[in-house]
Amino acid sequence: MAMFAAKTQGAKLKGGKPRDLETAKPDQEKLTIEKPSAREQILQTATRLFYHQGFRAVGIDTIIAESGVAKMTLYKHFPSKDDLIVAYLDRSNEAFWTWCDAEMKPFEGNHKRQLEVIFEGVAKLASSPQCFGCTFTGAAGEFPELQHPGHQAALRHKQQVLDTFTGLSKAAKLRQPRVVAEQLALLLDGAWNAARMFGSNSHAKQVADAAKLIIAAHS
């Protein structure tokens, strides 16, 4: 999801890490700023527009205008709008799992706690004004045809969520691990939907406590 992506892309310096250019002293070193590639500019723009406005509402011409690339350049990297949608969803999927890994890392070996902290993090994210719900659910809703590339990309993500929750439940030695995973996946979707429907002050903040009840019931 877009909200998992970096808040700012940051200017990159050749041979170094991103830095705050406003605080860097010009007389200390010469800075060579690397601009994002054309493909990256397009993806960054699509990420922002698709997540906030939806897929069908955003046209290719809007993405071209706001990304500042030529139409031929866009179609060189993404031959169709569907290709761009899938690239965006795949990137959102990667960002989600990067976030999950970071949340779980302090609790390596404690798989029950890892499940819990995911939902503690979701409760915080879903209460943020930047949260507009689940982009994968949005894709499935806008592209109901099961074989549509956007629907398929969204389905891959949801299946990965189920499989990951199942694996963690098994590792935590919970009873009926697949049932636990399915119940937790429903909670996850419910939290994102509550955030989208009610805004940042929604009942999604209850999702961590609800997840802990399910986990405890199967421990």
Give per-residue pLDDT as tens, 158-167: 999 999 999 9
Last residue of a domain, one of 16, 48, 79: 79
Give per-residue pLDDT as tens, 95-114: 999 999 999 999 999 999 99
Of 159, 140, 158, 160, which is closest to residue 150 (Cα–Cα)?
Answer: 140
Based on the domain organization, do 43 and 98 belong to the same domain? no
Q: In 10 A of CB 75, how many CB atoms?
A: 15
pTM: 0.83
Based on the domain organization, do 102 and 209 belong to the same domain? yes
Based on the domain organization, do 131 and 67 belong to the same domain? no
Residue 14 lies in a domain: no
Based on the domain organization, do 169 and 72 belong to the same domain? no
Based on the domain organization, do 143 and 219 belong to the same domain? yes
Based on the domain organization, do 122 and 194 belong to the same domain? yes
pLDDT on residue 2: 57
- Which residue range(s) make up the domain with 98? 92-219
Residue 170 lies in a domain: yes
SS3 15: coil
Residue 84 lies in a domain: no
Domain count, the chain: 2
Based on the domain organization, do 113 and 39 belong to the same domain? no
pLDDT on residue 18: 35
Residue 45: give its domain's CATH number. 1.10.10.60
Based on the domain organization, do 198 and 131 belong to the same domain? yes
pLDDT on residue 33: 57
Q: For 31-65, give one letter per residue: b (16+ CB within 10 A) or e.
A: eeeeeeebbebbbbbbbbbbbeeebeebebeebbe
